[in-house]
Amino acid sequence: MLSSLWKRQHALRAGTALMCLLLTPVQYGWANDGDTAGGYRRLLPHVTDIVVHGKVEEKQRVAHDARHVPTEPSVPMLVPSINGVGGAPSTPSSSQSLGQQPYLFSLHSRAVATAGRWMEQYGVYLTGWNVSQVDVAPSGGTNAGSFFNNNAGIGTDLDLQKILGIQGAQFHFFAVDTAGEAHAGEFTGSTWAYLSWLGAHDGFQVREFSWDQALLHNKVYILAGRGNPKGGEFEGSELYCLFSAVLCSAPAALTVNGALPSTTISTWEFRILVKPTAHTYIKGGIWEIEPSLKATNHNSWPGPDWGFDRAKGEYFPVEVGYRTNFSNDLYPRAYDIGFTYDTSVYNDPLYNTRGLPRAVYGGTAQPRRGRTQLYIQAQQMLWKPEKKGTRGTILFGAANFQLSGDPPVKRGFVGGVVDWGPFSPRPRDYLGVAVQAFQWNDRLTQAMNDTYRKQGSHQKWTNYETMLEVDYGFNVAPGIMVAPYFEYIWHPDLLGYTTLPSHVGFALQTGLSLFMQLAPAFDLPALHRIRN
């Protein structure tokens, strides 16, 4: 198995290197297109440029399709993020700097760009990304060691109005290949301070297969098919996946406290989004809970798992929010509040079926059904060096609260800051600091203490865990980021251990992430989709 992973990883690296060699000679792309009103010339042709080794090249870009002018984009165009699976906005959100950036190289090719524009005329858009991570746990935790992880995604977005003449209709397909040792718990001792791109298991899996329909003059959007409530749908931010370890897609408490599928797989879904105004939205949906998807590599293709007989419950999220962007706000912001209800059966963290502590008396975990939680989330650009520019400092935070049931996390908190373009000569780099903290469920705390006592230890399990991560993202080429990071964990949770280690008070983890997003990396058009 290790040999197979080694071969896959080196084949991927070799393929990437070959592609770079083939496409590097022709270098041109995009840069600043800001206007004097604090917005952007979204519908007019404009000249754009990039800088590679001090040389500037220009090209004329065609006008945007007016039907695809975004309302509230939640996904960065020039910063890789799985929050944008299946599309990206045609104007920048608050998480972008669009100043002139000095690049080390470019993968732009006139032939590839021309092919992309030709496909766009017929309503076909390619989308994808690749994330490679090398990581080291040098100190603390339970073991020292290093590990590698790779996630690659590829898909297509179809504009069904161009293809079939169906007004306001899109179709999205996206598949993900996961390989490596994404979970760092065996080194750090923390189950949830893992690499952000963790999948349920290695393999090639369908991430999205859905119909996206706009109705009532773009006031209502219906999404149906197979998908995931994470990845930008609920409690999401375009900022989260810029971090390599502590969070991605959504705060970890949303995942820990429910049975929703991992980020790399999909289940049956139905979501409705209503936009009362250009800045506000209300959305809700239902997702199938199918635990078998996490256990086997079925590739998510049509088969037994596409039936409803394997469903073990439903997941109901609802969210109300307000969001702006640089096209309508000098200091973009986003605020939302949400509620989730999980109907699936889960194991009581403390008691067995006889009502006795399972860690002491053994037996089968007591089955429980139904969990609810409330979350609030906010982000706000607070400061900019130029009033009408896009560089600046963004503050963000989220909080999750258990309302009913006994999920592992009683309360979860996320907070941090992202500085876009921290240095004027590099306006598309970013500096990020994020903190995530859990307060664990009281029953879970008692169960862990019972386990220590059964082992003959007098140690007490700490009922909270805190993680700090610092990243710097170097935008080395259009659509490509190299981001070294450092993570410190206080009180690793040890939840993945049958026999609990003693005196594990901290853990260090550091590494390097390489992000690539297909559309900006190869100068391909992207189909905008509305998520909020």
Say what the pLDDT of residue 185 is: 67
**Which tens digit of pLDDT belongs to each residue from 221-244?**
999 999 988 877 899 888 888 888
Of 372 and 265, the one with more pLDDT: 372
d(CA 4, CA 220): 47
Residue 519 has pLDDT above 90, yes or no: no
Query: Bridge-partner residues for 528, per DSSP?
Result: none
Six token digits for residue 266: 């999909």
What φ, ψ does residue 162 adopt, rounded to 5°?
A: -70, -35
User: From its phi and psi, is residue 306 left (phi > 0), alpha (psi between -120 and 50) or beta?
Assistant: alpha
Q: Which residues contact 79 (CB under 8 A, 6 or more apart)?
A: 95, 96, 238, 242, 428, 430, 473, 475, 481, 515, 517
What is the Rg, in whole angstroms, of the alpha carbon atoms belonging to the chain?
23
Residue 27 has pLDDT above 80, yes or no: no
Say what the pLDDT of residue 179 is: 82
> Which of the residue ranges 98-102, 172-176, 212-216, 519-523 has the most confident prediction, judged by mean pLDDT?
212-216
Residue 204 has pLDDT above 90, yes or no: no
Six token digits for residue 383: 């400061």
Place of tokens 């990020």: 432
Q: Residue 470 belongs to what H/E stretch? A: strand 464-477
pLDDT mean over 426-441 = 94
Cα–Cα–Cα angle for 198, 358, 360, rounded to 5 degrees? 120
Name the pTM for this structure. 0.83
Residue type, 322: Y
Residue 154 has pLDDT above 60, yes or no: yes
Distance of CA 321 to the CA centre of its chain: 19
Q: Any idea which of 64-73, 159-168, 331-340 has the lowest mean pLDDT?
A: 64-73
Six token digits for residue 152: 């690659």
Judge whether 43 and 20 are in contact, CB under 8 Å. no
CA dist 393 → 39, 62, 352, 500 (Å): 18, 31, 50, 41
**Residue 123 CB-density burial (10 A; 0-12 exposed, 13-18 middle, 19+ buried):** middle
Half-sphere exposure at residue 421, Cβ-oriented, CA atoms within 13 angstroms: 24
Nearest residue to 124 (alpha-carbon basis) of 92, 91, 161:
161
Nearest residue to 475 (alpha-carbon basis) of 445, 527, 431, 441:
431
**Which tens digit of pLDDT belongs to each residue from 30-61?**
333 333 233 323 222 233 455 665 555 554 43
Residue type, 222: I
Say what the pLDDT of residue 464 is: 95
Furthest C-alpha separation in the chain: 74
d(CA 102, CA 394): 23
pLDDT mean over 201-216 = 88
Q: Any idea which of 6-20, 155-169, 423-437 has the lowest mean pLDDT?
A: 6-20
**Which tens digit of pLDDT belongs to each residue from 399-416?**
999 999 999 999 999 999
Domains in the chain, start-ordered, CATH in brackets?
A: 2-521 (2.40.160.180)
d(CA 291, CA 311): 8
Say what the pLDDT of residue 45 is: 29
Of 315 and 150, the one with more pLDDT: 315
Nearest residue to 97 (alpha-carbon basis) of 82, 76, 81:
76
Residue 113: strand, helix, or coil:
helix
Residue 451: strand, helix, or coil:
helix
d(CA 482, CA 133): 10
Of the pLDDT bands very low, low, confident and very high (cuts 50, 70, 90), residue 295 is low
Residue 466 has pLDDT above 70, yes or no: yes
Residue 433 has pLDDT above 60, yes or no: yes
Bridging pattern class, strands 506-517 and 392-404: unpaired
Residue 199 has pLDDT above 70, yes or no: no
**Which tens digit of pLDDT belongs to each residue from 375-390?**
999 999 999 998 888 8
Of the pLDDT bands very low, low, confident and very high (cuts 50, 70, 90), residue 152 is confident
Six token digits for residue 132: 């490679």
Question: Residue length, the chain?
Answer: 532
Judge whether 466 and 489 are in contact, CB under 8 Å. yes
Judge whether 127 and 155 are in contact, CB under 8 Å. yes
Of 498 and 469, the one with more pLDDT: 469
> Which of the residue ranges 4-8, 144-148, 228-232 has the most confident prediction, judged by mean pLDDT?
144-148
- Residue 458: how many other CB atoms lie within 10 Å: 8
Of the pLDDT bands very low, low, confident and very high (cuts 50, 70, 90), residue 248 is confident
Say what the pLDDT of residue 239 is: 86
pLDDT mean over 306-320 = 89
CA dist 57 → 34, 78, 110, 506, 520 (Å): 18, 18, 12, 49, 16
Residue 163: strand, helix, or coil:
helix
pLDDT mean over 106-119 = 95
Six token digits for residue 17: 């290197």
Mean per-residue pLDDT of the chain: 80
d(CA 312, CA 194): 26
Of the pLDDT bands very low, low, confident and very high (cuts 50, 70, 90), residue 166 is very high
